Amino acid sequence: MKFPPRPWIAIHGSDTSMRRDTPSSRVFLMVCLTTLVMHSGCSQWQRRGSETRHPQSSGFHFTDISDQVGLGAIDAKRVMWVDLDGDGFADTILNNRRVFMNRRGRRGALPRVFVDRTDASRINAHPFDSDGRRFADCLQVGDVDGDGDLDLFSGRYCDLQRPALRDDNPVVDEQGQPVMAVTDDTMRSRILLNDGRGSFTIAPDALRPNHPETTSAAAFFDYDHDGRLDLFIGNWYREYGLSHRCYPSRLYRGLGDGSFIETTTEAGLATVDEPGLRHSSRPVYGVAHCDFNNDGWQDVLVCAYGRQRNMLYKNLGDGTFVDVAEQVNFDGDDLRSGLYPDWVEREKEESFRANGNTFDAACADYDNDGDIDVFLAEITHAWAGESSDPSTLLVNLGAAGDYRFERRLDLGIDRAHSIERWNQGDLYAAWIDFDNDGLQDLLISSGDYSDGQFLRLFQQQPDHRFTDITLAAGFNWEGSGCLSLADFDHDGDVDILVTRSNNRLPPERRNALAPRVALFRNNVGHKANWLAVTLVGRGAGGANRNAIGARVIVTAGDLVQTREVYGGLGHNSHRNELTLTFGLGKRDRVDRIEVRWPNKNHTSTILKNVPCNKRLTIRE
């Protein structure tokens, strides 16, 4: 019998693998799933998971096991989880240049370890010199050529228009021409294609045109639903410290073969090189995406630095976008006087410079009401005055409120400062249901300043307020930096990979807080019930292979959770693994799973009576 191309669902952790090809086979699938629930249930053995044994912990919710698994004492400020070889386990890339593969351990209580495969990965291969090395300033991950493995956008920060200064005056050469502060090394942003085993090859001329700009962030998503990943690139200042002029951010449409063509202007995203206007180019430090208005199309969230306004590009579904940040209250808060405190001798700022220093945009339906909320992580200073936006939870008001955001500072996430001249360096944020109770909790990663910057965990309560449980979590991670989340050991709960950021510290503090990695293993989530879902799209003509932009709605009794698959989360191409983990608490079955695919026809897949404590792969 000849089947259509790979439309199947696999349930891992059982002996069940089923194809969905005909209406009769769909009925058979439902019967099989129902039988599995009736006969296997959710045993304690399943809650522990088939891959992992948990040693006795110290009583904290998390334990740093980086030394035990081969990631200790590594100098890194950037991290990401990504399954590079397609074995289902999250590997990691550190500092955009070191690759560690997740492998089965040989002995002891920890069944997974990490092996350095940097040289074999060729992630740092030079495009022109076989003996040279090329390093990326930011990375993003997605299957850009539709072959089923994860490729890389390797972004370069090309700071080529900033003049050199001497005594605050531009330096000129013998011909009177300005001398640039940075020499052009001819390196540019690149697309690196994966061979399926985690080894990369540079795709020549993959970005057309390839602009040498101050690239700081990127996100993959399929903006036109053609089944091919597209790329949004966020750029920063042209001449930092000298003016507010910025490079434009850019949109590239994926052609499906690993190459991209720029469509910024055609998509309505062109900005101008004149500061202060609503359509000015901004200094972008983070790019994210989500479907904020539930219309089935992914919208683009642009995190602006320099207290400039954020942008939210609404996807109109016809290949174009419109900025609705001001209408939906995403651009900044209402305090825009631009005034500094009395003890700061500076003139008031113009209104376009009276917003936030936004680094990260953590998108999630945090309150389980069916629409996507956003937590904005900001760097804020006492000296900047009330016009400098604090880190804020933007609660989506839904259809009744025209999908506007309400900025909430009264939910237990705001922090008091014990000194007058404080800083709050919130660089990254992430949603994590660490205890698998069905309510997503909030991680805030703060660093770069010397007055008490830590990794913090805020537990969501049933009334959707938050309680700071950082001490109970077991964190004492000062100078916290980049975050990435994954269930690296397949035990059913989400673990945390985090770095350290010690910028702006005095020398003695910098030495005490050297950049390194911590892998905080989750000690508690596996004790509750859970479900892990990985989606695979058909590719060209259907949903993109990574199903980025898909929405998954899981119903278990009275609990309804909505999640989306994201290809970019904010600062410096922040990302998590693509698998979605749903906490179920004590609920012992999943009544319904609905997958809404990001394809032209907005089709859905619906499963019923699915066993819990399983890892599901669902193909379009």
Q: What amino acid is encoded at 487 in this protein?
A: D
- Look at 46 and 42; give whichever has higher pLDDT: 42
Share of the chain above pLDDT 90, in %: 82
CB 259 within 8 A of CB 206: yes
10, pLDDT greater than 60: no
For residue 222, which of 603, 595, 542, 553 has the smallest C-alpha distance? 542
pLDDT for the residue 471: 97
- Band of residue 502 on the pLDDT scale cut at 50, 70, 90: confident
Within 10 angstroms of residue 183's Cβ, the number of other Cβ atoms is 8
pLDDT for the residue 108: 60
Q: What value does the mean pLDDT take over residues 87-94? A: 98
- Look at 43 and 459; give whichever has higher pLDDT: 459
Q: Beta strands 230-235 and 79-82: pairing type?
A: unpaired
CB 587 within 8 A of CB 564: no
106, pLDDT greater than 60: yes
Mean of all residue pLDDT scores within the chain: 91
Query: Distance (Å, rounded) from C-alpha 459 to C-alpha 129?
Result: 50
CB 126 within 8 A of CB 132: yes
Query: Distance (Å, rounded) from C-alpha 256 to C-alpha 428?
Result: 31
pLDDT for the residue 46: 36
Torsion of CA 517, 520, 521, 527, to 10 degrees: -160
Which residue intervals of 85-239 are DSSP H helices?
118-121
Residue 47, phi then psi, degrees to nearest 5: -65, -35
Q: What value does the mean pLDDT take over residues 369-389? A: 96
pLDDT digits (tens, 9 = 90+) for 91-100: 999 999 999 9
pLDDT for the residue 9: 56
pLDDT for the residue 20: 38
What separation in angstroms does the CA of 249 have from each of 124, 138, 287, 540? 25, 15, 10, 26
- Compute CA 285 distance to the chain's CA centroid, rounded to the nearest angstrom: 13
pLDDT digits (tens, 9 = 90+) for 528-555: 999 999 999 999 999 999 999 999 999 9
289, pLDDT greater than 60: yes
Q: What value does the mean pLDDT take over residues 132-147? A: 96
Half-sphere exposure of 291 (CA within 13 A, CB side): 25
Q: What value does the mean pLDDT take over residues 420-441? A: 97
Q: What value does the mean pLDDT take over residues 227-249? A: 96
Q: What value does the mean pLDDT take over residues 407-415? A: 94
Within 10 angstroms of residue 104's Cβ, the number of other Cβ atoms is 10
Q: What value does the mean pLDDT take over residues 29-41? A: 39
pLDDT for the residue 418: 86
The sign one gets for the Cα dihedral 178, 182, 183, 185 is: negative
Indicate the length of the chain as a whole number: 620
pLDDT digits (tens, 9 = 90+) for 309-326: 999 999 999 999 999 999
Query: Distance (Å, rounded) from C-alpha 488 to C-alpha 521?
Result: 9
28, pLDDT greater than 90: no
pLDDT digits (tens, 9 = 90+) for 449-463: 988 899 999 999 999
Q: What is the 3-state secondary structure (H, E, C) of 446-511?
A: ECCCCCCCEEEEEEECCCCCEEECHHHHCCCCECEEEEEEECCCCCCCCEEEEEECCCCCCHHHHH
- Compute CA 87 distance to the chain's CA centroid, rounded to the nearest angstrom: 21
557, pLDDT greater than 50: yes
pLDDT for the residue 12: 52
pLDDT for the residue 167: 87
Q: What value does the mean pLDDT take over residues 395-401? A: 98
pLDDT for the residue 558: 96
pLDDT for the residue 501: 87
11, pLDDT greater than 60: no
pLDDT for the residue 53: 53
49, pLDDT greater than 50: no
pLDDT for the residue 297: 98
Share of the chain above pLDDT 70, in %: 90
- Look at 9 and 194; give whichever has higher pLDDT: 194
Radius of gyration of the chain (CA): 24
- Band of residue 168 on the pLDDT scale cut at 50, 70, 90: confident
